């Protein structure tokens, strides 16, 4: 099977670290808002990907996290005058409800950052001891210049990294840092913010160390696949590599980096401020989960695309036609489908082939493999 690895910018033959096991970590949601179609696209891809690996006889340990303590949650909780924990739980439940309604299989483990504080503290302490981190003004920072290949994943130069870090909350102008790209591992909590005990006083973790710690705790020092949205490449995943490899002394932390593209809406990235967000829960009022799945999988996971609600009606019709083909004698085979999926998960071609060339039991197997329920087809 070939997979496009963001680290090498190439399609590479997929080889697991240990024979039949796949260790996979996918960055999860920060629960302060509703699941929009961009989230659905990302997690739908990893749902089908892990189904396919299972189908190929591999044992997938799939860990997905929830970033349940983070600046964005605290900010939103303050705005809405809600308890940060209650806010996080509320949106996590809503996300999991959408997840189930879309027939996505739960990851092997669904883990919370707040359940991993002990490992985070251990890692930060170790990074300090090894000289990869420093304490300054009540905060602990990772010192990027101490890590040899910072930038190897995103392939950005220092100036580009600084600009993006600024856009994505990296605060390069923080005067407490030795260098603008250094990032927070641990921060002193402000008045009213949640805090945990640590050797450096009561505080809370930085965002990047949370994922390094959860991945290490549940999957170990080196993993096969790390996934997420393309916008996480820098600084989040770049920083995860620096922390994890400095902590474990093992490289590479991740064999294959898989990133799903962004879904645009009305020509822009979806955002609350633009008011162009499309919510899964709204779509499910008018369309079936299978139709939504069809539309999402008819776009390749690495190709940016524009979501249009009008794509859902033809998908509905197509699925009704396919329900008829399920009753016909078998035609076609899954070999072709496997060929497409083996080529960097080409789900659009797999769907086209199923639609055109197959019927009966073969079609049913193919659709099941891709996670369709075909509820109205009996
Ligand atoms: Zn993450």
Dig out the tokens for 348 from the structure.
Answer: 């659009």
Provide the residue ranges of all domains of the chain, joining segments of one domain with +. 22-263
Question: What is the pLDDT of the chain when averaged over all its residues?
Answer: 95
pLDDT in tens, 201-215: 999 999 999 999 999
83 alpha carbon – ligand 1 mean position (Å) = 23
53 alpha carbon – ligand 1 mean position (Å) = 22
Question: Residue 169: pLDDT band by 50, 70, 90 thresholds?
Answer: confident
Burial class (CB in 10 A: 0-12, 13-18, 19+), 165: buried
34 alpha carbon – ligand 1 mean position (Å) = 18
Contact 300, 317 (CB under 8 A): no
Question: Residue 377: pLDDT band by 50, 70, 90 thresholds?
Answer: low
What is the maximal distance between C-alpha atoms in the chain? Answer: 72
Dig out the tokens for 109 from the structure.
Answer: 């483990």
Q: Give pTM, 2 decimals.
A: 0.96
Q: How does DSSP classify residue 164?
A: H
134 alpha carbon – ligand 1 mean position (Å) = 22
pLDDT of residue 168: 85
Which whole-number Å values give the CA distances from 165 to 12, 30, 153, 268, in the listed order?
29, 18, 15, 20
Q: Please give the CATH architecture assigned to the domain spanning 22-263.
A: 3-Layer(aba) Sandwich (3.40)
215 alpha carbon – ligand 1 mean position (Å) = 9
pLDDT of residue 378: 46
Letter string b/e over residues 62-100, b meaning 16 or more CB atoms within 10 A of that residue's CB: bbbbbbbbbeebbebbeeeeeebeebbeebbebbbebbe
pLDDT of residue 275: 79
Residue 290 contacts by C-beta under 8 Å, 6 or more apart in sequence? 103, 319, 372, 373, 374, 375
Which stretches of the chain are assigned E, i.e. beta strand? 2-5, 10-13, 21-26, 59-66, 109-112, 133-136, 139-142, 183-188, 203-205, 223-229, 254-260, 263-265, 268-269, 305-306
pLDDT above 90 for 250: yes
Cis peptide before 252 (omega within 30 of 0): yes
202 alpha carbon – ligand 1 mean position (Å) = 23
Letter string b/e over residues 270-284, b meaning 16 or more CB atoms within 10 A of that residue's CB: beeeeebbbbbeebb
Across 60-84, average pLDDT? 94
pLDDT above 70 for 64: yes
169 alpha carbon – ligand 1 mean position (Å) = 15
pLDDT in tens, 345-371: 999 999 999 999 999 999 999 999 999
315 alpha carbon – ligand 1 mean position (Å) = 33
361 alpha carbon – ligand 1 mean position (Å) = 40
pLDDT in tens, 3-41: 999 999 999 999 999 999 999 999 999 999 878 899 999
46 alpha carbon – ligand 1 mean position (Å) = 15
pLDDT in tens, 302-337: 999 999 999 999 999 999 999 999 999 999 999 999
Question: Residue 93: pLDDT band by 50, 70, 90 thresholds?
Answer: very high
């Amino acid at each position: 099977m070939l997979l496009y690895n963001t680290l090498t910018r190439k399609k590479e033959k997929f080889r697991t670290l240990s024979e039949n096991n796949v260790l996979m970590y996918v960055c999860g949601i920060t629960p302060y808002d509703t699941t929009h179609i961009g989230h659905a696209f990302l997690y739908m891809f990893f749902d089908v990907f892990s189904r396919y690996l299972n189908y190929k006889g591999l044992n997938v340990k799939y860990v997905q996290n929830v970033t349940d303590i983070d600046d964005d949650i605290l900010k939103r909780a303050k705005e809405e005058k809600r308890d940060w924990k209650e806010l996080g739980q509320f949106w996590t439940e809503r996300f999991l409800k959408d997840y189930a309604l879309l027939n996505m299989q739960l990851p092997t483990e669904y883990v919370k950052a707040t359940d991993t504080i002990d490992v985070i503290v251990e890692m930060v302490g170790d990074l300090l001891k090894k000289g990869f981190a420093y304490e300054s003004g009540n905060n602990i920072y990772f010192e990027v210049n101490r890590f040899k290949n910072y930038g190897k994943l995103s392939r950005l130069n220092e100036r580009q990294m600084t600009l993006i870090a600024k856009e994505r909350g990296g605060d390069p102008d923080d005067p407490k840092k030795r260098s603008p790209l250094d990032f927070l591992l641990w921060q002193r909590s402000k008045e009213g913010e949640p805090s945990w005990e640590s050797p450096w006083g009561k505080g809370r973790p930085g965002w990047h160390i949370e994922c390094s710690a959860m991945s290490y705790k549940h999957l170990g020092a080196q993993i096969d696949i790390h996934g997420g949205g393309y916008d996480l490449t820098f600084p989040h995943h770049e920083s995860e590599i620096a922390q994890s490899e400095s902590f474990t002394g093992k490289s590479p932390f991740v064999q294959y980096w898989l990133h799903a593209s962004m879904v645009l809406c009305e020509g822009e990235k979806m955002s609350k401020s633009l008011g162009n967000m499309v919510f899964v829960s709204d779509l499910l009022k008018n369309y079936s989960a299978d139709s939504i799945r069809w539309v999402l999988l008819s776009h390749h996971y690495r190709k940016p695309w524009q979501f249009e609600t009008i794509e859902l009606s033809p998908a509905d019709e197509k699925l009704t036609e396919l329900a008829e083909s399920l009753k016909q004698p078998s035609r076609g085979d899954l070999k072709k489908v496997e060929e497409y999926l083996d080529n960097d998960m080409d789900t659009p071609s797999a769907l086209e082939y199923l639609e055109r060339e197959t019927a009966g039991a073969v079609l049913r197997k193919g659709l099941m493999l891709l996670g369709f329920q075909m509820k109205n087809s009996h």
